[in-house]
Amino acid sequence: MGRYIIRRILWGIAMLFIVSAVIFLIFYILPSADPAVLRAGRNAGPAQIAQIRHSLGLDKPVWRQYLDYMQQVFLHFNFGYSYQYNVPVRQLIFSRLPATIWLTVGAVIIWLAVGLSIGIVSAVRRRSILDRTTMTGSLALISAPVFWLGLVSLYLFADDIGVWKIFPGQGAFAAANNPLQKAEAMILPWLVLAAATSAIYARYMRASMIDTMSEDYIRTARAKGLPERTVIRRHAVRSAITPIVTLIGLDVGTLLAGNAILTETVFNIPGVGRLLYNAIGVSDLTVIQGITLFGAFFIVFFNLVVDIAYAYLDPRVRYS
Amino acid sequence: MTEPLLQVEDLRVKFSTEDGIVHAVDGISYTVNAGQTLGIVGESGSGKSVSSLTMLGLTRNQGADIEGRIMFQGKDLVTLPDDDLRKIRGNEIAMIFQDPLSSLHPFYKVGVQLTEAVHAHRNVSKSAARDRAVELLDLVGIPDPSRRVDQFPHEFSGGMRQRVMIAMALANEPKLLIADEPTTALDVTVQAQILALLDDLQSRLGMAIIIITHDLGVVAEITDQIAVMYAGRIVERAPTSAIFGSPQHPYTWGLLKSIPRLDSPRGEELVPIAGRPPSLIKRPSGCHFHPRCPYVREEHKRIDPGLEPVPDDPTHSVACLLTAELRQRIWRGLSEGETSATLRHLVVEEEQQPATAHAAPRVAEDDPS
């Protein structure tokens, strides 16, 4: 077990190096704008630009630039400076992370609670009206774009422009002062972000449950004379949830990496996704690079967590 | 005579599917006395598993339409409410299955699965249930049971897993054990061990056993009675010695002729039964076996034989339209090494039709499958 975890950690670190190199190469080969020109401002002459290029190290060979960058990242945890804001990228990301974490954690809790329970009940009561209704509804939610769903929810429920003024609307999170207000401000974003994902999870869980319910060991559990709810909870759900754990890891990782960009934009939440969105708009390369690398870290990290969790869930993994 | 432990009367199980109604079990009756062993033999799809799963109520939530009676200790298991049936399941009637690999939950330790079986019906302490689990593993011949109890199923070999399954079934000292193809997934040497174990456990614990199998060879040693099933029905039912000594049904002959024997002459061929098992949705007319029967006559395609006792033995019943005397002659011929092709003339002669030159096993033209 210990060796398994160490192996996974080493592999994760190797993965991060590979990802960082690929990111660096992509931004070098495909510059949407010359960083030196952007940095120099509107009225700069060629000499000025050349000087900036030299001071940023952009005139060095690409492998040298990569090594310099990686050295800064690993030894000093320094991701460079934002051209736009002229502050360290690290500081920018850290100032935006809390909002994204708030958004992600709440949404994950909601979609797991809603998605998994709907999935389980639909599988157990297969072909019932409940099953058909929830599965049709889930298809509708999966098909609805997040920005549309967000705008509709604001139009219906926001306390400023809503038809029913129930929940805090746009920008409420930035204005909130205490955790309670923050949570309240997050209600609509959480629901909107969780909607499509809980629908997907409901479908996955349903399919996984249906597969599991036809397993021989479920028949054994019934033949033992266990009550049906014990058969479902202890035997079926326990197996059916294992593949879902993989999904959770990936989804949490990508959300923290800025994948909540649409929700953050619609609700005006100052998170990493918004930062990325703005940075792309003005070609702020160091910020984009920094966020991408951070994102890669989160994804690798949560995959590691999933692998370890998997070994605990499935005893067969531990020994192989 | 005391009341039998289990009495199945005219049991019918139907499933509605998109393709039509599947007549999985079509009016079977049998009895099992306490401490006795019954073998139910038939090909896959003959309804042998469905009938026993139905006994435990395990076909109920699959949309099965169940008729008839299954009397067990004065209760009708067909009409018994779900929760009362659950209390019998794994307690008074226990079941083991074909594939011990997939029949144990891969995520739980063997001990956990055993104690769960105990706790399902007994209100005992955790440590008492664990002691019982170790005791059960010991009972089924698993070495070092106090260590093995904390291992996962994938750490056991196939034969050992089947022993675990048997241990689990015995947890509450059932009066009836149903073994559904208990040795099919195992190596031949292990098969013999498992059968010997079942036999030994039966003599020690005194329970009745129903063994379901497609292999007559498996049940020869340890059963008292054998019921041969074909297309959802029992076509022959007799004490084991009579099934092997004077089998009456052409299908039973086919099964017997397809068992390899060590004492048969070198070079003797095994004779498979021609054709495929019939569809249980659109069954053959008349005698369901007629499309595969080498001794079929025209009228057999119309008349549906009932299960009748043979003239000189009330314990031996068969559902066949051939006369007893003819069946005896054919079986004598078969046991002397003749083939169904050469014996077919007996049937044709009796039918008093001009003997056709070749009487190869004939597949009926109106075979619906």
Cα–Cα distances (Å) from A248 to A106, A204, A253, in that order, read: 13, 12, 8
Q: In a 3-state reduction of DSSP, which class is residue A14?
A: helix
Distance from CA of A128 to the nearest CA of B (A): 13
Whether residue A190 sits in one domain with residue A48: no
User: Which residue of chain A comes nearest to B170, CA vs CA?
Assistant: A224
Tokens of A33: 């704008």
* A164 in the same domain as A57: no
Interface predicted TM-score (ipTM) of this complex, two decimals: 0.86
Domain boundary among B143, B171, B199: B171
Question: Are the Cβ atoms of B103 and A225 closer than 8 angstroms?
Answer: no
Q: To the nearest whole angstrom, how far is the Cα of B99 from the nearest Cα of chain A?
A: 8
* Burial of B313 from C-beta contacts in 10 A (0-12 / 13-18 / 19+): middle
Check pLDDT > 60 for residue A193: yes
Statement: residue A170 has pLDDT above 80 = yes
The Cα of B178 is separated from the nearest Cα of chain A by a number of Å equal to: 11
pLDDT in the model for residue A92? 94
pLDDT number for residue A58 = 81
For B241, residues 6+ apart whose C-beta sits below 8 A from its C-beta are none
Q: Is B167 part of any domain?
A: yes
- pLDDT at position B362 is 46
Residue A90 has pLDDT above 90, yes or no: yes
Q: Cβ contacts (< 8 Å) between B168 and chain A: which residues? A: 220, 224
Q: Which helix (H) or strand (E) holds A34?
A: none
Torsion A17-A19-A22-A28 (CA) sign: negative
Tell me what the mean pLDDT of segment B152-157 comes to.
Answer: 94
Residue A191 lies in a domain: yes
Residue A309: per-residue pLDDT: 87
d(CA B359, CA B347): 10
Same domain, A59 and A167: no
Residue B116 within any structural domain of the chain: yes
Q: Is residue A17 part of a domain?
A: no
Q: Is B103 on the interface with A (CB under 8 A)?
A: yes
Contacts of B91 in chain A (CB under 8 A): 225
Q: Residue B227 falls within a domain, yes or no?
A: no
Q: In percent, how much of chain B has pLDDT > 90?
A: 62
Q: Into how many domains does chain B fold?
A: 2
Last residue of a domain, one of A78, A107, A135: A78
pLDDT in tens, B218-263: 888 889 999 999 999 999 999 999 999 999 999 999 898 887 766 6
CB of B90 within 8 Å of any CB in chain A?
Answer: yes
Residue B286 domain-assigned (yes or no):
no
Tokens of A203: 């479908």
Q: Do B86 and A225 touch (CB under 8 A)?
A: yes
> Which of B171, B201, B228 lies at the terminal end of a domain, its last residue?
B171
Number of domains in chain A: 2
Domain enclosing residue A63, as ranges: 34-78
User: Which one, of B250, B234, B256, lies nearest residue B309 by Cα?
Assistant: B234
Amino acid at B136: L
Q: Quick check: is A160 in a domain? A: yes
Are A184 and A167 in contact, with CB atoms under 8 Å apart? Answer: yes
Domain contains A111? yes
DSSP states of B185-217 as a string? Answer: TS-HHHHHHHHHHHHHHHHHH--EEEEEES-HH
Does A118 lie in the same domain as A49?
A: no
Whether B326 is in a domain gets the answer: yes
Rounded to 10 degrees, the C-alpha dihedral B256/B258/B263/B269 comes to 140
Q: Evaluate if residue A113 carries a pLDDT over 70.
A: yes
CB crowding A169-185: b at 16 or more within 10 Å, else e: bbebbeebeeeeebebb
User: Which residue among B58, B88, B120 sits closest to A219, beta carbon to beta carbon?
Assistant: B58
Q: Comparing A284-288, B38-42, B90-94, which segment has the lowest mean pLDDT?
A: A284-288
pLDDT value of position B349: 74
For residue B89, give the DSSP letter.
B
Q: Supply the pLDDT for residue A199.
A: 94
pLDDT recorded at residue B365: 46
Among the partner residues A217, A222, A314, nearest to B104 by beta-carbon distance: A217
Residue where a domain terminates, one of A78, A113, A137 = A78
B18 touches chain A (CB under 8 A): no
Mean residue pLDDT of chain B comes to 88
Name every residue whose Cβ is closer than 8 Å to that of residue B91 and which is 6 or more positions away in sequence. Answer: A225, B120, B121, B172, B174
**Same structural domain, A61 and A106:** no
Please tell me whether residues A183 and A287 are part of one structural domain: yes
Whether B131 is in a domain gets the answer yes
**Is A216 in Cβ contact with B90 (below 8 Å)?**
no
| A42 and A124 inside one domain | no
Scanning every residue of chain A, which has its alpha carbon at the shortest distance from the alpha carbon of B97?
A220
pLDDT in tens, A27-57: 877 766 677 777 777 777 888 888 888 888 8
pLDDT at residue A46, rounded to an integer: 85
> Is A232 in the same domain as A101?
yes
| Residue B45 confidence (pLDDT) above 70 | yes
Is B159 within the bounds of a domain? Answer: yes
Q: Whole domain around residue B110: which residue ranges?
A: 103-171
Mutant choice from B105, B118, B119 vs A, greatest count of A C-beta within 10 A: B105
Tokens of B15: 């499933």
Domain boundary among A19, A47, A78: A78
Please give the Cα distance from A236 to A248 (Å, whole number). 19
pLDDT, average across residues A114-134: 94
Q: Does B91 touch chain A (CB under 8 A)?
A: yes
- Choose the weakest-confidence range: A40-44, A125-129, A190-194, B263-267: B263-267
Residue A65, both tokens? 């630039």
Please report the number of interchain residue pairs, chain A to chain B, with beta-carbon separation below 8 angstroms.
69
Q: Do A220 and B97 touch (CB under 8 A)?
A: yes
Helices (H), A224-281: 228-230, 238-240, 242-254, 261-266, 272-281
Within an 8 Å CB–CB cutoff, is residue B261 touching chain A?
no
What is the structure's pLDDT at B176? 96
Q: Which residue of B has its CA nearest to A125?
A: B61
Q: Would the pLDDT of A252 be above 80?
A: yes
Which residues of chain A lie closer than 8 angstroms to B88, CB-CB?
A: 225
Instruction: Give me the pLDDT at residue A50, please.
Output: 86
Give the C-alpha distances (Å, rounded to integers) separating A32 from A28, A249, B310.
Answer: 10, 32, 94
Query: Do A242 and A154 belong together in one domain?
Result: yes
Cross-chain residue pair A224–B116, CB shorter than 8 Å: yes
Separation in Å, CA of A114 to nearest CA in chain B: 25
Choose among B56, B87, B107: nearest Cβ to A223: B56
Residue B62 has pLDDT above 90, yes or no: no
Residue B328: C-alpha distances to residues A91, A151, A318, B205, B343 (Å): 97, 86, 62, 39, 12
- Give the amino acid at B314: P
Residue B271 has pLDDT above 80, yes or no: no
CB atoms B105 and A239 under 8 Å: yes
When the pLDDT of each residue in chain A is averaged and rounded to a whole number, the result is 89
Nearest CA in chain B to A236: B105
Report yes or no: B86 at the A interface, CB cutoff 8 Å.
yes
- On the 0-12 / 13-18 / 19+ scale of CB atoms within 10 A, A138 is buried
From A251-260, B12-21, B223-232, the region with the lowest mean pLDDT? A251-260
Question: What's the first-to-final CA gap in chain B, in angstroms?
Answer: 45
A11 falls within a domain: no
- Which residue does chain B place closest to A230, by CA atoms? B120
Are A149 and A73 contained in the same domain?
A: no
Nearest to A219 among B97, B116, B154 (CB): B97
B138 within domain boundaries? yes
Mean pLDDT throughout B346-366? 54
Mean pLDDT for A92-111 is 94
A16 domain residue, yes or no: no
The closest CB to that of B103, out of A220, A315, A316, belongs to A220
Q: Which residue has the tokens 């897993």?
A: B161
Domain contains A86: no
Tell whether A85 is covered by a domain: no
Region label for A86, one of left (φ > 0), alpha (ψ between -120 and 50) or beta (otherwise): left
Cβ separation B105–A216 shorter than 8 A: no
**Chain A residues inside the 8 Å CB shell of B165:** 220
Q: What is the CATH number of the domain that holds A252?
A: 1.10.3720.10
Based on the fold, state whether residues A129 and A266 are members of the same structural domain: yes
* pLDDT digits 0-9 by tens, B157-198: 999 999 999 999 999 999 999 999 998 888 888 888 999 999
Answer yes or no: do A224 and B89 touch at CB < 8 A.
Answer: yes
Residue ending a domain, choose from B129, B145, B171? B171
pLDDT of residue B367: 46
- Residues A41 and A173 placed together within one structural domain of the fold: no
Res. B369: pLDDT tops 60: no
Is the predicted pLDDT of residue B303 greater than 60, yes or no?
yes
Backbone angles phi, psi at B62, to 5 degrees: -105, 20
